[in-house]
Amino acid sequence: MTGDTPRRRVLEVEHLKVEFPTRRGNLVAVDDVSFHINEGEVLGVVGESGAGKSLTGAAIIGLLEPPGRVAGGEIRLAGRRIDDLPYERMRRVRGREIGMVFQDPLTSLNPLYTIGRQLVETLQTHGSFSEQAARRRAIELLGEVGIPSPRQRVDQFPHQFSGGMRQRVVIALALCANPRLIIADEPTTALDVSIQAQIITLLKRLCREHDAAVMLITHDMGVIAETADRVAVMYAGRLAEIGAVDDVIRRAKHPYTHGLMGSIPLIGDDTERLTQIEGAMPRLTEIPAGCAFNPRCPKAFERCRVERPELIPADGTAVACWLFDRSPSPGAAADG
C-alpha cells in the first residue's frame, strides 16, 4: 500500500453506506465499506449472493434503484466526488468515465436495434462523431473485441449473436467512450465455461490497452485468481478482507475467507472433504451484533459477539477480524 499517492487512485470509496428504507425499518445493504482502485488495476470483489457486491457497484455508477439510496460515505473518481452529483452531471460521468458490464448479455442489449445503431448512439452521445465516423469507429471496436467480419455484423441484431459474442459486444459498448473505470458485475456467470475464459482474457487485455481500472464483481474465485491484482471479500454488506490476490487466496486470514478458499476443489488436491462453513449468510434483517460472521466462525470469542471489527492491517492485507488486533484490549485474548 505504500507508494500509492492519492493522485494515482482512479476510484476511492470511503465508508460507503447503502440503505433501503422499508416499512420494517432501514435495511443496511452496504455497511461502511472502504476501498480504492489504482490506475490499470483489477480489483476483484467477491462474496456470496446478497453480500452487497452488486449494490456497491450500482452505487458507484449512480444507478441505485429507489428506494435504495446512498446514506453515507463518499465516492471519488480521480479525486472528484461523484456520489452527490445531480442527475445530468452524473449521466455524463456514466459511459464516459465509468463503464459498466452486466451479467446477462442477452437482456443487456435492446433486441429491436442493430448493434451498430447501439454503438453509434453511445459514441455520438459522448463524443462529436459524424454518422460515418461513428460507424467506422463502431466497426473498429467490434474488431477489437474479436467479432469476426465486423463490417457485416455491425448491422445485425442481438439475437443473431451467440452468448459469448454478445458479451463481447457489451464490452465494446462499455468501452467505446474510453472510460477510466470499468465495473463488471458478474460478466461471465451467464456464459458457458469454455467462453468464460475468453471473455475474461479479453476484458483484461482491453482494460490494459485502454488503461482502465476494473472492479470485477463475481462469486467465482477462479476468475479472481486468474484476473485480479487485488481482491476484496464482502460478507453481509461489510468488507471482511482486502489485499493482494496472492495474499488473500493463499494466505487467507479472515476465517470466512479461509472457509471460502477451502471450499474450492483443486485438481490434484488430496483432501477428502471440502471445507464447509456451517450455517448461511444472514439476511439483511437479521445481521448479528458485533462481527457479522461470528455465529458461524469457528474461532469466535467474546469480543466478536459484541464489537464490530474494523479493517485491521495485517501483513500486507487488511482484515476485519479481532483475531488480528495487536493492540491491548479488554476482553478475552485470541487463540491461534
Partner 1 sequence: MQRLFQALIVMMVVALVSFSLFQFVGDPVNNMLGPEGTIEQREKLREKLGLNDPVPVQFVRYVANAARGDFGLSYRIGKPVDELLAERLPATVELVLVSAVIALALGVPMGVYTGLRRNAWLSRVFLTVSLVGISLPTFVIGILMILVFGVWLGWLPTFGRGGVTDIGGWQTSLLTLKGWSHIIMPAITLALFQLTLIMRLVRAEMLEVLRTDYIKFARARGLRSRSINFGHALKNTLVPVITIMGLQIGSLLAFSIITETVFSWPGMGLLFLQAIQFVDIPVMSSYLVLMALFFVLINLTVDLLYYAVDPRLRVERAGSVAH
* Residue ranges in contact with partner 1 by CB under 8 A: 61, 63, 91-96, 99-100, 102, 104, 107-113, 121-122, 125-126, 148, 156-157, 159-162, 164-165, 170, 173-174, 177
Instruction: Give the residue with the Cβ less far from partner 1, 110 or 275.
Output: 110
Nearest to 298, CA basis, from 252, 251, 238, 258: 258
Shortest CB 183 distance to partner 1, Å: 8
Instruction: Give the residue with the Cβ less far from partner 1, 158 or 259.
Output: 158
Instruction: Give the residue with the Cβ less far from partner 1, 182 or 240.
Output: 182
Instruction: Give the residue with the Cβ less far from partner 1, 107 or 329.
Output: 107
Shortest CB 18 distance to partner 1, Å: 17
Instruction: Give the residue with the Cβ less far from partner 1, 101 or 281.
Output: 101
| Contact by Cβ (8 Å): 100, 41 | no
Residue 115 to residues 6, 130, 277, 312, Cα–Cα distance (Å): 38, 17, 44, 47
Shortest CB 95 distance to partner 1, Å: 3
* Chain centre distance of CA 47: 10
CA dist 174 and 299 (Å) reads 43
CA dist 179 and 211 (Å) reads 9
| Contact by Cβ (8 Å): 217, 224 | no
**Residue 335: helix, strand or coil by DSSP?**
coil
* Farthest CA pair distance, the chain: 71
Shortest CB 69 distance to partner 1, Å: 16
Instruction: Give the residue with the Cβ less far from partner 1, 165 or 199.
Output: 165
Shortest CB 319 distance to partner 1, Å: 32
CA dist 16 and 234 (Å) reads 13
CA dist 336 and 134 (Å) reads 61
Shortest CB 139 distance to partner 1, Å: 17
Shortest CB 80 distance to partner 1, Å: 16
**Residue 316: helix, strand or coil by DSSP?**
coil
Instruction: Give the residue with the Cβ less far from partner 1, 61 or 242.
Output: 61
Instruction: Give the residue with the Cβ less far from partner 1, 133 or 195.
Output: 195
Contacts of 228 by beta carbon, 8 Å cutoff, 6+ apart: 42, 43, 44, 216, 245
CA dist 46 and 118 (Å) reads 31
Contacts of 241 by beta carbon, 8 Å cutoff, 6+ apart: 232, 233, 248, 252, 253, 254, 256, 257, 317, 318, 319, 320, 321
Shortest CB 52 distance to partner 1, Å: 18
**Residue 248: helix, strand or coil by DSSP?**
helix
Shortest CB 79 distance to partner 1, Å: 20
Instruction: Give the residue with the Cβ less far from partner 1, 96 or 136.
Output: 96
